[in-house]
Amino acid sequence: MTAMQKVSLGAHYVVHLQAPDDFAFWRERARGLIQCDVPPDRLSWVEPGGMGDLFATEGPFRGERRLPVPDDDARPVRASKRFMKLARNAALHSDPQRFGLLYRMLWRLQSNPRAMEDKADPDVRRIEELDKAVRRDSHKMHAFVRFREVRVEDGSRHYVAWFEPDHHIVRANAGFFIRRFANMNWSILTPRGCLHWDGVTMRESGPARREDAPQGDPIEELWKSYYASIFNPARLKVGAMLAEMPKKYWKNMPEAELIPDLIAGAQAREVGMVAAGAREERERPASLAAIAEAIIGCRDCPIAECDTRAVMGEGPADATLMIVGEQPGDREDREGRPFVGPSGQLLDECLAQAGIDRSAAYVTNAVKHFKFAQRGKRRLHQSPSAKEIDTCRWWLESERTLVKPRLVLALGASAARGLLGKTVSISQARGKPIALEDGAELWVTVHPSYLLRLEGTAHEEQGARFAADLAAVKARVAELEG
Ligand code: URA
């Protein structure tokens, strides 16, 4: 009997999901059902506690059948990488229609593998919306979870936080908190389920209530004083602030108590700073190897969702000279090393001409993941936004803290922003040292990709200026080492 024949004519099938965030289960069932040619309108997806769950034996799903099983040699199911990436996230949304929507799209992809490329398609748009909402919710969780200290009878410290996610994101974000707070015993309580980490193992428990979480302790004071100190009255953007930190989160955040006063008095700094504050609080990795490991899992900005690998800096851990580029490109992402593609080759040539030994320098990037737009098979470079550079800055600073270069050469505006935390004009900044707060000197020049885009005399002129910048850096490094 073929898989087709096993499908009961006119039957309505119901798939009972075991958990609202079980994407792997959905994928498995969806694959089998597509292989058995079950059309989307003959299928319902029911999550625990959902409508279909209540009425599973009577009501709308009374005619429910056992799910058909595909043959071993059933044709494979096709799904683009983009679809799978978006679907994995969209499945965490709280929209009860999401699994049906994803199945419909997967069904359509079998006859039209490029269906996801139609940006105006209502299904594609809805999947993108769900993905965006889930990413935003995860971002909020990363930024706004605040731990309170709880005294445990044996004298050890336990930290407990309360968070109210909009979507089923708690389990999916466990890894983020394990990496960030690996050495702490902590619990994150939410109405959608709780996570508990004891430094070694992760445990889950059912939903909690706000009253289960402790309120107020010295950590709050720490947050409050931190927030007040970073508050910049010159830059109030209440709209942006509310968008970044909806009022719903205020009650969980000690520093939020200060906000009304601070706003009333003047203007507030964008509250993205609070998230940055959370990072400042974080312990910096103790070695370059630890950074290399940690950036793999970093999801602090959306670039990492591009499905690329993180590219770590390379070079001697005590280099005098650190060279900083913008972000890995296509080749760097494939090879896992900075500056190995066309820009890297030009950089190597120019460094050699200037007498700078690349292998003696520590070479890295302001942003650790490759940001691109997929065009057919090609991945086209996209410049990182200022916010993305600022988010990744923490890693660059962590590298700088360990390597302690005495001279840092920024190639291009993104690199300069990554080092200074603000935008500078290359034409004004180049050719002279800028003091960094740790005493190192920052020198700024253009990015080699800029030279690659120029032709004729412009190429020659700018090439000569770049060579002169490198020569000045070479001379200064020699002085610093001498
Ligand atoms: N461009 C950069 O800025 N960095 C690289 O590693 C490669 C290209």
Torsion of CA 472, 474, 479, 481, to 10 degrees: 150
Q: Write down the mean pLDDT value for the chain.
A: 83
327 lines ligand 1 (CB under 6 A): yes
In this model, does residue 476 exceed pLDDT 50? yes
Which distant-in-sequence residues (6+ apart) come within 8 Å of 15 by Cβ?
A: 26, 29, 33, 43, 44, 45, 46, 67, 99
Going by their DSSP bridges, the two strands 148-151 and 321-325 should be labelled as unpaired
DSSP, res 356: -
What's the gap in Å between 347 CA and the centre of ligand 1? 10
Distance 364 CA to ligand 1 centre (A): 8
Q: Please give the sequence-ordered ranges of beta strands (E in DSSP) within 385-431, or none if there are none.
A: 407-411
Tell how strand 148-151 and strand 157-162 pair up: antiparallel
The runs of H, that is alpha helices, within 159-271 are: 174-180, 218-230, 238-244, 247-250, 259-265
Q: Which atom of ligand 1 is nearest to the CA of 343?
A: 8
The confidence band for 55, taking pLDDT boundaries of 50, 70 and 90, is: very low
pLDDT band per the 50, 70, 90 thresholds, residue 58: very low
Is the CB of 344 within 6 Å of ligand 1? yes
| Spatial CA neighbour of 303 closest among 381, 388, 379, 364 | 388
**Cα 289 to ligand 1 centre (Å):** 20
Q: Let me know: does 104 contact 31? Beta carbons within 8 Å.
A: no
- Nearest atom in ligand 1 to 311's CA: 6
Measured distance CA(384)–CA(367) in Å, rounded: 8
Q: What is the 182 CA–ligand 1 centroid distance (Å)?
A: 31
Residue with tokens 């993305």: 388
Question: How high is the pLDDT of residue 250?
Answer: 55
Name the one residue in this structure whose structure tokens are 């920024």. 410
Crossing angle of helices 288-296 and 386-403, rounded to 10°: 160
Predicted pLDDT at 65? 62
Can you give the pLDDT at residue 243? 56
Instruction: Tell me how far apart the alpha carbons of residues 111 and 457 are, in angstroms, rounded to a whole number.
Output: 52
Distance of CA 53 to the CA centre of its chain: 34
**447 closest CA partner among 407, 416, 475, 401:** 416
Cβ(332) – ligand 1 distance below 6 Å: yes
Percent of the chain at pLDDT above 70? 80
Task: Give the SS3 label for residue 96.
Answer: coil
333 lines ligand 1 (CB under 6 A): no
Lowest mean pLDDT among 26-30, 214-218, 386-390, 406-410: 214-218
Quick one: which atom of ligand 1 is closest to the CA of 412? 3
Q: Where are the alpha helices (DSSP H) in 112-145?
A: 122-144
Question: Which distant-in-sequence residues (6+ apart) come within 8 Å of 137 by Cβ?
Answer: 165, 166, 167, 169
Residue with structure tokens 């499945």? 91
pLDDT attached to residue 295 = 87
Decide whether any atom of ligand 1 lies within 6 Å of the 341 Cβ. yes
- 405 in ligand 1 pocket by Cβ < 6 Å? no
- d(Cα 434, Cα 416) in Å, to the nearest integer? 11
Does the beta carbon of 365 sit less than 6 angstroms from any atom of ligand 1? yes
Q: Which of 343, 346, 367 to mutate to test the pocket of ligand 1 (most atoms within 8 A of CB)?
A: 343
Q: What is the CA radius of gyration of the chain?
A: 26
Lowest mean pLDDT among 121-135, 210-224, 327-341, 405-419: 210-224
Cα gap 125→453, rounded to integer Å: 35
How many angstroms separate the Cα of 72 from the Cα of each of 5, 164, 213, 440?
A: 14, 44, 50, 64
Give whole-number Cα distances, 482 to 12, 475, 476, 479, in Å.
80, 10, 10, 5
From CA 29, how far away is CA 33, in angstroms rounded? 6
Least confident of 86-90, 193-197, 292-296, 356-360: 292-296
Distance 331 CA to ligand 1 centre (A): 9
Q: Which pLDDT tens digit goes with each residue over 257-280?
A: 655 555 444 333 333 444 444 455
User: Domains of the chain, with CATH numbers?
Assistant: 3-137 (no CATH), 145-212 (no CATH), 220-279 (no CATH), 286-481 (3.40.470.10)
The arithmetic mean of pLDDT across residues 438-463, rounded, is 96
Cα(5)–Cα(182) distance, integer angstroms? 53
Q: How far is the CA of 338 from the centre of ligand 1 (A)?
A: 6
Structural tokens at position 30? 């969806």
Give the N- to C-terminal CA distance of the chain in Å, as an integer. Answer: 82
421 contacts: CB under 8 Å, gap ≥ 6: 390, 393
DSSP, res 314: B
Residue 327 CA to ligand 1 center (angstroms) comes to 5
pLDDT number for residue 81: 86
* DSSP character at residue 397: H
